Amino acid sequence: MNNIMSVGQPETDIMNMMPQAHVSFPANSDVPLTDVPCEAVPAERVEVLLKLLAECLAMVDQDNERAWIRLSQAMELLQPTARTLHRPLGTTGGLASWQIQRVDCFVDQHLDSPIRTPQLAKVLNLSVSHFSHAFKQTLGVAPLVYVARRRIESAREMMLASPSSLAEIALSHGFCDQSHFSRTFRRETGLTPQMWRRMFCKAGDTK
């Protein structure tokens, strides 16, 4: 099969080109089906995603396992975006969207520094107990867990776009050392930073 996928080709055409009868996806896949607008994906990840999908399409007839790996990599790369887009905002007693945006702005501006719950509560002029309860009710996780995830998401983008060492990336994202970064990274992604970087840099031809 000599299929050619162009950047502007509709997603429906791409899916129709894939011989789905030959693909066996795990029945217990826990990756949710989400509609992610293209403009929500950071520009530096678009090329990597396109290459992963192109490789998946090219391999699907010859090597089903490798095709599934490429597709899994693409879905995993999109998960941070999907999680941000589908926050359960508007829950009674929780935080409003503008409050979450204000917290996000503060976190993103201080990724290289320690961030404590009282600091986040102060951003919204709320007590620590009120903030913590409303935050978890809105986003489903404690504030510091959310901060750790934001650090890892930003670190992953830097790992794709920069040749910086993992130690440098760890320090620039508020981790005390590379070991702390690696433990948190593996908890969030299931892979070590070294494994994740080799996997995605190879897919994106990043040096």
pLDDT tens by residue, 29-47: 444 444 444 444 555 567 6
Report the SS3 class of residue 60: coil
Q: For residue 130, give every residue at least 6 positions away whose Cβ sits within 8 Å of its Cβ, in sequence order, or none.
A: 121
Residue 179 reports pLDDT greater than 90: yes
DSSP state, residue 87: -
**Measured distance CA(158)–CA(173) in Å, rounded:** 10
Token pair 């070991």 in the structure block, residue = 179
Most confident of 11-20, 81-90, 154-163: 154-163
Confidence bin at 96 (pLDDT 50/70/90): very high
Most confident of 10-19, 26-35, 156-165: 156-165
Q: Is the CB of residue 135 less than 8 Å from the CB of residue 143?
A: yes
25 vs 87, higher pLDDT: 87
Task: Say what the pLDDT of residue 33 is.
Answer: 44
**Measured distance CA(184)–CA(149) in Å, rounded:** 9
Least confident of 14-23, 62-71, 196-205: 14-23
Residue 138 reports pLDDT greater than 60: yes
Helices 143-161, 193-203: crossing angle, 10 deg rounding = 40
Task: Say what the pLDDT of residue 106 is.
Answer: 96
**Measured distance CA(62)–CA(188) in Å, rounded:** 32
Q: Is the CB of residue 205 less than 8 Å from the CB of residue 47?
A: no
**Measured distance CA(64)–CA(77) in Å, rounded:** 20
Least confident of 68-72, 122-126, 185-189: 68-72
Q: Is the CB of residue 112 less than 8 Å from the CB of residue 154?
A: no
Token pair 């520009």 in the structure block, residue = 43
**Measured distance CA(179)–CA(206) in Å, rounded:** 24
Average pLDDT, the chain: 74
Q: Is the CB of residue 132 less than 8 Å from the CB of residue 142?
A: yes
